[in-house]
Amino acid sequence: MSESGKNEIDTPERPILSVRGLKTRFVLDEGIAIAVDGVSFDVGVGKVVGIVGESGCGKSVTIKSILGIVQKPGEVTDGEILFAQAGNSGGADADYVDLAKLDNRGKKMRAIRGNEIALIPQEPMASLSPVHTIGNQLVEAVRLHRDVSVSEAEQIAIKSMTEVGMPNPAERMSMYSWELSGGLRQRVMIAMALVCSPRLLIADEPTTAIDVTTQAQVLNVLRSLQKDRGLSIIFITHDLGVIAQIADVVVVMYLGRVMETGPVDDIFHNPLHPYTKALLSSIPSIHGTSRGPLPTIEGTIPHPFNRPKGCPFYPRCGAFMPGKCDQSTPRLTASNPAQSVSCFLHNDEAEPA
């Protein structure tokens, strides 16, 4: 498997994670919902990839698929999730393992989850057990992957909490999640994610549930971790402001598909896809003189069961070309060396019908 992986990845900078043509669907009584429909992106070593999109665009399902924690009736049906093998953190001679082929509940996958790839969840309050102490849950995270005694694990946990700027870390060990403030809770989650020194960190909207001041602190913690440890991060958010602050590369998703991807500066200054443009124009500006209403994107995301034929965005798109966009689906194609876009305005490549 690693052999073939070697052959397939031939970009000069070998990524730590390469997602290719990922498809995840949910088989429900009402029908089949395709939550992730052929998503591809790379995460470079030491880079922060920001995935943006409205609610329900498949961001969370994408990262759950990477972690192998999609629950029934959901399943990954197609695609590759190539992860650089332990021992080499990407780089020129990286060996890859295809996570999509591993048994989700099997030992191999569990040895990667929480150890090599760690998750910072969306809701720290709900993600911590209210009846177990912070220390108990941190020690558990250590001991799942490291063969150490409880007291050694406690030391590792306290060290990890110190690193994320938790005040009085030793005292917090015997506290419960509901005795902490929102910002501290999120720090506990980050400390828990870092406790086994993962190579890839996945942050699922880590700043949604907390106020703006704390948000800035959490972003600072993540940014310094990325700098100091060369950590690779996938950062999911619907907040473009946060993306501008933290991401190196942006992946714009809509209805389970990648609309556009490229370096953060290009995406913000030279957006190609009409959806990216619409997202950017709906950011409130501090310099704006207009007292008019904030521009919004017309309409709502279609229900996954009523997925439009062709480009998923055409019903809401200002540049809709009848007979083209509603007939075939544009393929994600490089538009310049750094930027790729799936839109018929920029190239004619379509997905095979």
Binding site for other proteins (CB under 8 A): 64, 67, 69, 105, 110-115, 118-119, 121-123, 126-133, 140-141, 144-145, 176, 178, 189, 192
Nearer to other proteins, 131 or 353 (CB): 131
Nearer to other proteins, 117 or 317 (CB): 117
* Nearest distance from C-beta of residue 196 to other proteins, angstroms: 9
* Nearest distance from C-beta of residue 73 to other proteins, angstroms: 11
* Nearest distance from C-beta of residue 180 to other proteins, angstroms: 13
- Asked if 347 and 280 touch (Cβ cutoff 8 Å), the reply is no
Q: Which among 204, 118, 203 has a CA at the least distance from the CA of 160?
A: 118
Collapsed DSSP state (helix, strand, coil) of residue 4: helix
Nearer to other proteins, 196 or 252 (CB): 196
Q: Which structure tokens are listed for 301?
A: 């995301």
Kind and range of the H or E element at 237? strand 232-237
Q: How far is Cα 108 from Cα 92, in angstroms, rounded to an integer? A: 24
* Nearest distance from C-beta of residue 195 to other proteins, angstroms: 9
Nearer to other proteins, 197 or 270 (CB): 197
Tell me the DSSP string of 105-171: TSHHHHHHBTTTEEEE-S-HHHHS-TTS-HHHHHHHHHHTTS---HHHHHHHHHHHHHHTT-SSHHH
Nearer to other proteins, 122 or 217 (CB): 122
Q: Which structure tokens are listed for 329?
A: 């689906």
Residue 306 main-chain phi, psi, to 5 deg: -110, 45
* Nearest distance from C-beta of residue 111 to other proteins, angstroms: 7
Nearer to other proteins, 72 or 287 (CB): 72
Name the β-bridge partners of 285: none
- Asked if 331 and 260 touch (Cβ cutoff 8 Å), the reply is no
Residue 11 main-chain phi, psi, to 5 deg: -70, 150
- Asked if 51 and 234 touch (Cβ cutoff 8 Å), the reply is yes
* Nearest distance from C-beta of residue 133 to other proteins, angstroms: 8
Nearer to other proteins, 113 or 316 (CB): 113
Nearer to other proteins, 119 or 325 (CB): 119
* Nearest distance from C-beta of residue 126 to other proteins, angstroms: 4
* Nearest distance from C-beta of residue 210 to other proteins, angstroms: 15
Q: How far is Cα 330 from Cα 90, in angstroms, rounded to an integer? A: 31
* Nearest distance from C-beta of residue 244 to other proteins, angstroms: 27
Nearer to other proteins, 47 or 64 (CB): 64
Kind and range of the H or E element at 255? none
- The 3 state secondary structure assigned to 275-333 is HHHHHHHCCCCCCCCCCCCCCCCCCCCCCHHHCCCCCCCHHHCCCCCCCCCCCCCECCE
**CA dist 181 to 44, 47, 167, 228, Å?**
34, 30, 12, 26
